Every structure is written in C-alpha cells, then in structure tokens.
Structure 1
C-alpha cells in the first residue's frame, strides 16, 4: 500500500528507524492509516496546507524529531491542528497519556475520529481554548508546533504544567528577542537543533520553571 511514492508503510519504518527511534510494524501501519485519513479529510476540510508528497518530511519526521524532548507520563499538544505532533506521539509513545487541544471544531472532529478508528486508547482530544482548560491532572511536557510566540505560549499554558515540567516549542527561525522575552518565573533551558532530513533551521526550544532550571 502507498499514499505517495514515499508514504508507504515500509518507508515509514525505514525513515523512523533511521532516526534511531524504535517502531513496530503495527505502529507503522497506524501512522500510514493516519496519513490516509488526513489526506482524505483534507480534500474537503482543509486541515493542513502540507501537500501529500510532503507529509513524510513535514509532518511525520518533524514530529518524531521532537520525541526526545517530550518527557514524563503526561504530554499536552497545544494548538494541535491536524494532530501534529500529538497523534504521532500517541502512536509511538503508547505508554504515555497524550492530550491534544485545539479550539477549531472541524479539526477536533477529525482527531476524535482518528483516535476512535486507530484505537488510540492513550490519546484524548479536547475542543477548547487552552486558557479555559483545567484538567484534574497537570502535564509533564507541554509541546506546541505552530501555536504562538514563546512568551504567549508560556503565559497561556503555565497553569497546566507540573512544577518540574517543561514547555517545548517547535520552531524554525526564531529571533533573540523572542528567546529572551520569557515570562517571569521561567527560563530558557535550551534551544536544541532538531534533526529532520530535508529540513533546516528546526529547533526544540525548551523553557522550564526557574526552580527546575
């Protein structure tokens, strides 16, 4: 089976293993099914601007590259959109609780459908603005890919982070002003380059509470 010449189960296995990440054939099948569903829904609902031929690089490998920075048992993907990186993290990190949150109903309808079809028991999708989200348990890692500038990301989500947790912002080019404009009580821990084949200037920007820096 193939979605494009490069989006096949075999190529998903190869590319992820090439990044040094463990993956089973069943997980590769679920990732492939997710991309099939994304492509089908995207034709009607415009869930992502990424072209089908670029799904592997811009979505899959980009999401996999941030996995080492997503620590702890509970991970929140803020402004998840079409489910990147949250759905991919949910498939590959099946022993962790992954929560996706977005305020766009069409995207949450799609994500809840994906979660049901792929039987992702460790993944949950919340249709809500993040500032109004108050779960019973807070999160060890809060990750975002295209949600907001660093300061706003931290400000809107700090009530959701455990005291020794971390924010992980997936960024392209980022200015020194954005890196230094971090809300009081938090500090930049690192700006780490992400290894994404075929992509440059990708970083995991990690911000932590000062008490854990």
Structure 2
C-alpha cells in the first residue's frame, strides 16, 4: 500500500529545514515516490538534531535535501543485488537513506564511534526503518562477521584506503559503490595499485537526481 503524505504544518518542520528551498518540493516527493514519508522524516530528524550531535555543520542546514539526502539517494540505482554494507555510516548517509528507499534489502551500517552508533539506532527506530543492522567497529574489525554484496561509503577516506579496508568484506562477486566529489577521476587513478592488488577495476559514473542539481559522482569498483 502506498503511504499518502499529509500537508505539513510549518511549525512541525525544524527551523533550518524551513529555509531549504527543496523542502516540501513536489519534485522531491515525486523522486522518492512512496518512500518519501520515511525519507522526509529522516531529513527532519537530521535537521533537528544533526548539528547538536555533531553529524552535520550549521551551514549545511539550508541544504540538507540537496547536499545530504539527494546526494545519498543518487547511489541507489547502482547498488545491484544482495546485502548492502555502508562503511563509516556516521549520520546515516547514505546508509539510512538507502535503507529507506530499498525496504526489501538488508543494509548493514558499520560505524566505529559510539555516539554515532547510538544515533543510527535511534534514527532508524524513530523513522521506522527496520531493514538495518548497526555494527560498531571499523571495516577491518567486522570482516569475520560481514560479507557484502555491495559496499557503500561517503566522505570516509580516499579510494585506496577504502579498498585496503573493505575488499576483505566483499563477496566473491561483490562490488564497491562509493560517493565521491569532482576529483573522483584523479582519486581513482591514484588508487590504481591498490585496485590491482585486490583485483578490482574502477569507473566513474555520473548519477543525476533532480533537474538543475549537479550530478553526484559515483565510483564503482568491480572484480577484474
């Protein structure tokens, strides 16, 4: 059943989010479809508590949708099948956004900081995202208990470091799908020796969301 959205009372929306030009946008609602209510709830929670809990900066409040939610959502079309493991999940970006959009998939959030683990547990429970497992630890510390069909990461480390830490978690046919910035191509070139060592090949893809927004750059690493 498709969940219908109700008109929002502006007094219920966190103050920072009220100034976000994309908040309440019909284009955003159409983009997320029947997953919009959960994604919106998470965006509001992030805007309300994110700065206080050190998850986002105060200057980012007016761009929560573009900078964080839509940027995270852009990775979804590239996630293939199977278990998704989000490394260094932090605020839940992209992990909680991905889990909200793909309720049929198992999503494992790996985060070493206790206060962020607590946030992930609280946020997933409050938003009603029940297809996530939260693990405290670094990637190299959970390799005995996690096997990933797809690994995601956003703003965690350079590609060469991510390959070193995360390749042992990959299933035999697994892949890594990383959110990166404008220098993704240069970063991928610098990681060529790490890729070769772990028998991975990489490509940079552009992932669009809404018209008029800069595409997100996605680096996909697959088995050679």
Task: Tell me, yes or no, whether TM beats 0.5.
Answer: yes
Where does residue 84 of structure 2 map in the other structure? 75
Where does residue 33 of structure 2 map in the other structure? 23
CA distance in structure 1 between the aligned counterparts of 2:141 and 2:135, rounded to whole angstroms: 11
Aligned pair in 2 of structure 1 residues 137, 149: CA closer, same or farther (>3 Å)? closer
SS in 2 for 1:44: coil
The reply on whether 1:32 has 2:40 as its aligned counterpart is yes
SS in 2 for 1:101: strand
- Provide the aligned C-alpha RMSD in A: 2.2
Where does residue 48 of structure 1 map in the other structure? 56
Deviation digits for residues 98-130 of structure 1 (CA, Å, limit 9, x no counterpart): 111111222111110011122322112212111
Aligned pair in 2 of structure 1 residues 140, 118: CA closer, same or farther (>3 Å)? same
TM-score (norm 1): 0.85
Aligned pair in 2 of structure 1 residues 33, 186: CA closer, same or farther (>3 Å)? same
| Pairs within 5 Å for 1:157-172 | 157-172=166-181
Aligned pair in 2 of structure 1 residues 201, 174: CA closer, same or farther (>3 Å)? farther
CA distance in structure 2 between the aligned counterparts of 1:40 and 1:154, rounded to whole angstroms: 34
CA distance in structure 2 between the aligned counterparts of 1:38 and 1:90, rounded to whole angstroms: 15
Aligned pair in 2 of structure 1 residues 201, 120: CA closer, same or farther (>3 Å)? closer
**Structure 2: 5+ residue runs without aligned partners?**
1-7
CA distance in structure 2 between the aligned counterparts of 1:173 and 1:189, rounded to whole angstroms: 16
Where does residue 194 of structure 1 map in the other structure? 207
CA distance in structure 1 between the aligned counterparts of 2:39 and 2:202, rounded to whole angstroms: 31
| Pairs within 5 Å for 1:95-174 | 95-134=104-143, 136-174=145-183
CA distance in structure 1 between the aligned counterparts of 2:53 and 2:180, rounded to whole angstroms: 26
CA distance in structure 2 between the aligned counterparts of 1:60 and 1:32, rounded to whole angstroms: 9
SS in 2 for 1:71: coil
SS in 2 for 1:77: strand
**Residue pair 1:173, 1:201 contacting (<8 A) in 2 also:** no
CA distance in structure 2 between the aligned counterparts of 1:177 and 1:119, rounded to whole angstroms: 39
Question: How many pairs are equivalent?
Answer: 203
SS in 1 for 2:161: helix
**Structure 1: 5+ residue runs without aligned partners?**
none
Aligned pair in 2 of structure 1 residues 159, 32: CA closer, same or farther (>3 Å)? same
